[in-house]
Structure 1
Amino acid sequence: MTEITRHTDYRQALAAIKQRIQTSQTRAVLAVNAELLSLYWDIGRQLDVLQRERAWGSAVVEQMALDLQATYPGMKGFSRTSLFAMRQFYAFFSPQFEIVPQPVGQIPWGHVRTLLSKVKSVDQVLLYAQACTEHGWSRTVLEWQIAQRFHERAGQAVGNFAKTLPAPQSELVQQSLKDPYVFDFLTLAPQAVERDIENQLVAQITRFLLELGKGFAFLGRQYPLVVNDRDYFLDLLFYHARLKCYVVIELKAGAFKPEYVGKLNFYLSAVDDQLRAADDQPTIGLILCKDKDKLDVEYALRDIHKPMGVSSFITKDIPLSVQSQLPTVEEIETELTALIQDGEKAPDA
Structure 2
Amino acid sequence: MSGKAVKAKSPTPDEPILPLVQEIRDLVRSARRAAAQNVNTLQVVTNFEIGRRIVEYEQKGLRRAGYGERVLKELSLRLTREIGRGFSERNLKYIRRFYLEYRETVPQIAQTLSAQLPAKATTETPIGQTLSAQFTPAFTLSWSHYLFLMTIDNRDERRFYEIESRQNQWSLSELKRQFNSGIYERLALSRDKKGVKALADKGQIIGNPQDVLKDPYVLEFLGLDENTHYSESDLESAIIDKLETFLLELGKGFLFEARQKRFTFDADHYFVDLVFYNRLLRCYVLIDLKIGKITHENLGQMQMYVHYYDREVKLPDENPTVGIILCRTKNDALVRLTLPEKSNIYASQYQLYLPSKEELKQKLIEWSETVPDTPEAA
TM-score scaled by structure 1?
Answer: 0.69
Equivalences for 1:178-327 in 2 at 5 Å? Answer: 178-184=214-220, 185-188=222-225, 190-301=228-339, 303-316=340-353, 320=356
> Unaligned stretches of 5+ in structure 2?
1-36, 111-134, 192-203
Indicate if the aligned counterparts of 1:104 and 1:130 stay in contact, CA closer than 8 A: no
- Distance in 2 of aligned mates of 1:306 and 1:89: 47
Q: Partner residue of 2:181?
A: 148
Distance 1:218 1:252, change over 3 A: same
Indicate if the aligned counterparts of 1:104 and 1:129 stay in contact, CA closer than 8 A: no
Indicate if the aligned counterparts of 1:219 and 1:238 stay in contact, CA closer than 8 A: yes
- Distance in 1 of aligned mates of 2:282 and 2:217: 22
Q: Partner residue of 2:149?
A: 115
> Unaligned stretches of 5+ in structure 1?
1-26, 159-167, 335-342
Cα deviation for residue 115 of structure 1 reads 1.6
Q: Partner amino acid for 1:109? A: W
Q: Kindly tell me the number of residue pairs found equivalent between the two proteins.
A: 291
Indicate if the aligned counterparts of 1:290 and 1:313 stay in contact, CA closer than 8 A: yes
Cα deviation for residue 49 of structure 1 reads 3.6
- Distance in 1 of aligned mates of 2:262 and 2:315: 18
Q: Is 1:136 equivalent to 2:169 in the alignment?
A: yes
Distance 1:260 1:50, change over 3 A: farther
Q: What SS does the aligned partner of 1:111 have?
A: helix
- Deviation readout 1:104-128 (Å, 9 max, x if unpaired): 73322210101213x2211111011
- Distance in 1 of aligned mates of 2:61 and 2:298: 62
Q: Partner residue of 1:62?
A: 73
- Distance in 1 of aligned mates of 2:63 and 2:183: 39
Indicate if the aligned counterparts of 1:157 and 1:180 stay in contact, CA closer than 8 A: no
- Distance in 2 of aligned mates of 1:210 and 1:310: 19
Q: Is 1:87 equivalent to 2:96 in the alignment?
A: yes
Q: Partner amino acid for 2:210? A: Q
**In terms of Rg, which structure is larger?**
2
Distance 1:251 1:50, change over 3 A: farther
Indicate if the aligned counterparts of 1:48 and 1:87 stay in contact, CA closer than 8 A: no
Q: What SS does the aligned partner of 1:53 have?
A: coil
Q: Partner amino acid for 1:279? A: D
Distance 1:47 1:143, change over 3 A: farther
Indicate if the aligned counterparts of 2:282 and 2:319 stay in contact, CA closer than 8 A: yes
Q: Partner amino acid for 2:177? A: W
- Distance in 2 of aligned mates of 1:270 and 1:260: 16
1:175 pairs, out of 211, 215, 219, with 211
1:39 pairs, out of 41, 49, 52, with 49
Distance 1:38 1:99, change over 3 A: farther
TM-score scaled by structure 2?
Answer: 0.64
- Distance in 2 of aligned mates of 1:223 and 1:323: 38
Distance 1:138 1:270, change over 3 A: same
- Distance in 2 of aligned mates of 1:153 and 1:288: 16
Cα deviation for residue 80 of structure 1 reads 2.4
Q: Percent identity?
A: 28
